[in-house]
Each structure stands twice: as structure tokens, then as C-alpha cells.
Amino acid sequence: MPFLEDISVQYVKGVGPARKKLFARLGVGSVADLLYFFPRRYQDRRNLTPVAQVKVGQWQTVSGKILAKDSRRSWYTKKHVSEMTMDDGSGRISCVWFNQPYLDRYFSEGKRVVCYGKVDVYKNRLQMVAPEYEILENEEDESLNLRRIVPIYSLTRGFTQRYLRKTIKASLEKYKDQLSDDLPVALRNKHRLSNIRRSISNIHFPESFEDQEEALNRISFEEFYFFQISIILRRLSITHKKGVAHKISDAAALRFMKAFPFELTGAQKKVIREIRADMQRDSPMLRLLQGDVGSGKTLVALFGCVMAYENGYQSCFMAPTEILARQHYENIKRMIGEGAFKDMKVALLISGIKKAEKDRIFPRIKNGDVDLVIGTHALIDEEVGFKNLSFAVIDEQHKFGVRQRALLSEKGNNPDVLIMTATPIPRTLCITLYGDLDISVIDEMPPGRGKTETRLYRQDQSNEVYQLIRSKVAEGQQVYVIYPVIEESEKLDLKAARNMYKHFETKEFKNLSVGLVHGQMKQKESREVMDRFKNKEIDILVATTVVEVGVDVPNANVMVIEHAERFGLAQLHQLRGRIGRGESDGLCILVAEAQTSESNDRLKAILSTNNGFEIAQRDLEIRGPGRFFGRHQHGLNELKVANPMTQLGILELARKEAIALTEDDPKLAKEPNRYINDIIKKRYPTYLRDVKAG
């Protein structure tokens, strides 16, 4: 019997070539896809409310026969109005829709219709404005769409809810028995999880919300379980390898910590201890370092690089952008200059360097003439070979995938890998996504930093904002002014960096020095501007989000963010993290007009706290994990149904079972477990690729 994945959705009753194309738009190609095309939500139509008993002001479902329909143009708003009146035997209610003239044809008298909406009273009559509506053609239609909990699916043009329900029902009837149950029976029995056939049925057409929830939990458990197994296997595949066991004496560690003009924070010391212990073992380290912007992660990473150097090995440091790579290079050179490891040789490697430069630097990396290479993803270029890489740092994990991580590991003899992120992730999600990593957290800021105050201004308060900028510059401060776009456009009514720069330079701040930097400039130009800003030759720097990550100008303590409602929460936090880095207090001015409740939530969050963990948590709540991490982020894409934020208990249960399984049988070689290898291969193909590469 063929797998349901291999049977085209076209073989389901009611699907022809044209509909097949529509299904493709929903990401449904096979019968399996269709069965796993879960409802977005449900509507409880078990108890229809008789029209005579509806409550005004409440959302209700009513159903009856269409008594009359009508269409007209409102003399007042000039809108097209479609009206339909239904009668359910107990009373009448009219439904109106605006500017949807095709509805005039859709409704016809005598047909049975069901509507869900908020009940109003208009001119003494009951009314619903723009309710959800469905026409029911026949008895069968009624059994699927009325007097039950009905599923509501995501639609595409050309599909109706009714059609999807009918088609999914048909596919369930025909193919349900071919659904194979991947969860071991023992596990199902142990946790009282129902079989897959029952669960898939109940996801689509539950008799009660308890059944629906049980089905969802069962399917989520399965997803979490296999996903966790794949993560654990990947980790094992790396940590079972033999890497370098560095020798790190107390004296060496102490020498490093005493090498700076300041005292390390307790959190930095704690993480250095964790890294030291890892480096001393011969199995490769795989560690995620979370810490807010400016918490001093770079220094902690440098510890590993220096220890590798003192053991006679090379290290590397990979940053997501060229600006950042350069900045790390400058910073680290400075830090090294301060320390007792001045002889360490550091090189910068970025993309697009000239052949002559490549010819010079590649051999030096290859023969060990360079101890620490700082660069962009140019580091994982095939041509780059190390003599003996034993420690690798990856900054800003979000910008790199798992694949890059694996490629970097390949450059050395299973080097210790430290991944740094300034977007702290709540623990629960960390386990889901990075369960293959050990986790360190820097939860303390270096002392003596200024505090940053954040204020909100409206668009029409520009003059006040400009006045504030002037007075700050007069105090000797430097100011960033951030815009969401470079150019003005007709589509978006936004102030843009280039225009505002002109305006500032020639009018508003013509007696001050104004600079401009954005992502479309040549690297060389933007570097020049940044250097001039650093050297205090520029008072006001107009910029786009190119300054989002890592740019470090201690004397710039004021930031104005225009159209702040357009920026994501993490982005706002990163931007704001650029100021308050010196000794004086920072001032962050958000100029915004919240257009949506979501942008309002974001502004509220950024105004209420400076703590990166709290902001990340709020961001997750506002956006949900899928959007929080972005589409390409590994881990969440693979989870189709399960949601680590809302199903924490199930996640933990599944993880516990996955750990138990892999501890007992790490190679999945025992007879009853062998089939799991195939499942993982099928579900997480990229994971296995990574395992091989790593």
C-alpha cells in the first residue's frame, strides 16, 4: 500500500486538477498533507441560538431560511450594502455586508444559511454586521456544518469552509485506516494517548472540546518526541567525537581575568568557569551564551580564544556582518593589547577581499602564523583552511543556521564551539530549539554604566524633539537619528533617512555636523562615516538599522527612533542598546504613532523595561514563536502543530521520554527502536545532513 504522502490530493473525492492547484497554494499536495491540514480554530454550533432568544451585544450563531435579500448604495457613506434577512421560525434577523457586491448573487431566497456574528439592534430590528456566513445546500451539508463543533480552516480564494470540511471528511473516510501510528504502543499506553486515526479525526471533527484537546496533545506529543530525539542524536554525534582537551591552569585563568583595567562581573566569571571546564574535556564543547547587549560576552569569548592560543592552537570568531566583524577585530585587538597575551596574532577575514590579500592571508591561517581569525561567514569558505583550530565563536546565532555551525566545526579537529546571542530566549524555547546545546547566561551588566531612559513622542512633536537634540549636542553629546527606510516612497508615508539627512544638514541643524549611514552605501564609505562619528567629528548621525547590532560609540548617548511603531521589539531593543554604553545616562526618544494594537503592545513593552529577557518574553507573547524566530529558524518550522509556549508540560514529558530512549539505546540499534531512525530521517532530513557534517 502506498504511503499517504505519495498519494496526490487529486484522488480525494471532489478534487480535480483545478482544485489541486488551489490546494497547492495552501501547501497541500498529498492526502497526508490534507489530513494534517488542521483547523485554525473552531466554532461551537452545537447549540444554535433561536433568533427569538439572541442576546444583543453578544457573538452568536443563528441559522434559518433566507427570507429576502436586497442591495443598495448607502446615501450617507456611499458604500454598497448587501442585506439578507433570515427567519428561523422563532424570529427574523437581518445581516448586512458593506462593499461586497458579489454577495448579492450568493444569497438566494429559500436557502438555508448559518451566520455567526455580533448581534446589534438597528432601527428597532435585530441585525448582524458582516457576520461569517455559510449557505447549506443539503442534508449532508447540515450534518457537517451545523449542530456540532465545526472546524474553521485557513482559506485561499476559490475555497469555502464548506468545501474544505466536505473534502477533508471524504479523505478521512477513505484514507484514515492507512494512517500509520509512529508512536510506540507502550508509550501511548503509558501516557494514555489515543491512536493516530482517532486523533486526526478528532482534530477535524471533534464531538467535544475535550476530544479536540486530547487529540492536539497526542499529536503534539508525537512531534515533540521525535524532534527531541533528533536533537539529542545530533548532540551525541558531536559530543561523542574526540576534540582537544585544553590545559588551563588556575594561574592562566587568573592571568586572563586580571588582564583588564576593570573587574569582571560575577556572571562573566561564572561563565568563564563553565567554558573552562568544557575546554578541559576532550569531547567538543557546544555551548550557547546568552547575554544582553553590552553585558560583556565578547570578553568571555576571548577567554576561550586566549586559552586555545596558550595551548598552541588557533581560534576563530565569526560575526554576522562586516561592520561587526571589523568592530570585534578592533575591540579584541585593543583588549589583547591590554593583556598579557600581546603576542597573539589576530587577522581579519571578510568576504570580497582582493585575490592578492587572499593569497597573503590564507597561507598564514593555514600554516598557523595567525592565532585568531575574526571574520564574517567568509570564514567558512571552502578555501579557508586552519592549521589547528580548537576554539570557534559564532556571534549572533540567529543570523546563522545550524548548517554554518557544522561547517565551522569541520574547519578544525572538532573544535569547541561557543555560540553567542544577544536575543535571550526563554528557557522553555531554548530546550526545544537548542536542546543540543549547553546554555550559559550572563545576567548582570558591568557596573558604572549609565541608565537609559526611554520617552515617547508623537509625530507632531518634532520641534520639541529637535530642540532636545540641540540641547544634548550643546552638552557635548552625540546623537543617532534612526529611520525605517532610506528613501521616501509613494506607497509608504514615512520619513526617510536620505531626505531627513538633507533637511537636517541644510536647514534644521545647519550649524551642526550631520552624517548619514545606511545599508546601501559601500562598506568603505559607511566605515568612514562611522569613524568620523567615533572621532566626534559628527554630532548627529542619521542612520537606518545598520547600527542595530554591535556598533559601539560610547559618547553617543542619545538616540531618536522615528516611526518606532514600524520596528520589531527585538530591533528596538538592539537599537537602544547602542546608547548608554558610556558613563553618562542614555536617552532614547521614540517618535511613534501606534497603528495597530500589536505596535501599541511593542511600544508599551519597550517603554516599560530595559531588560532583554523581559523584552524577549514579551516579544514572544506578542508574535508567537513562529514569527519570533523567523521562518528559516530551525526547530520551529519542523513543529507543525505543537507549540512549545502553550504546551510546555507535554514538551517536558516528551523530552523526558526522548532522553530515556536515547540513554538506553543511543544508536537506536535495538530491534524495537530501529524504525525510529527512518522516522527521523523522513521528518528531519536536514538534521541528518547536519549530523553528518558535524
Residues that bind ligand ADP (CB under 6 A): 262, 264-265, 268, 291, 293-299, 422, 446
Q: How far apart are CA 8 and CA 111, in angstroms?
A: 34
Query: Least distance in Å: CB of 454 to ligand ADP?
Result: 19
Give yes or no for a contact between 453 and 585, defined as CB atoms under 8 angstroms apart.
yes
Query: Least distance in Å: CB of 269 to ligand ADP?
Result: 9
What pairs with residue 72 in β-bridges? Answer: 81
Query: Least distance in Å: CB of 444 to ligand ADP?
Result: 9
Tell me which amino acid residue 690 is.
D
Residue whose CB is less far from ligand ADP, 54 or 374: 374
Query: Least distance in Å: CB of 499 to ligand ADP?
Result: 32
Q: How far apart are the first and last CA of the chain?
A: 36
Query: Least distance in Å: CB of 196 to ligand ADP?
Result: 46
Query: Least distance in Å: CB of 560 to ligand ADP?
Result: 22
Residues 6+ apart with CB under 8 A from 480: 540, 541, 543, 547, 556, 558, 559, 560, 578, 579
Q: What residue ranges in 537-581 does DSSP mark as E strands?
A: 540-543, 556-562
Residue whose CB is less far from ligand ADP, 339 or 426: 339
Query: Least distance in Å: CB of 688 to ligand ADP?
Result: 33
> What cell does 513 get?
555636523
Residue whose CB is less far from ligand ADP, 276 or 495: 276
Q: How far apart are CA 466 and CA 303, in angstroms?
A: 43
Residues 6+ apart with CB under 8 A from 619: 568, 569, 570, 602, 605, 628
Residue whose CB is less far from ligand ADP, 265 or 584: 265
Sheet holding 372-375, edge to edge: 346-349, 372-375, 314-318, 389-395, 416-421, 286-291, 438-442
Query: Least distance in Å: CB of 447 to ligand ADP?
Result: 7
Residues 6+ apart with CB under 8 A from 253: 272, 276, 303, 307
Query: Least distance in Å: CB of 322 to ligand ADP?
Result: 17
Residue whose CB is less far from ligand ADP, 341 or 687: 341
Q: What is the DSSP letter of 504?
A: I
Residue whose CB is less far from ligand ADP, 202 or 298: 298
Q: How far apart are CA 37 and CA 24, in angstroms?
A: 12
Give yes or no for a contact between 680 and 233, defined as CB atoms under 8 angstroms apart.
yes
- The torsion defined by the Cα of 88, 94, 98 and 99, in degrees rounded to 10, comes to 60
Residue whose CB is less far from ligand ADP, 411 or 573: 573
Q: What is the DSSP letter of 506?
A: I
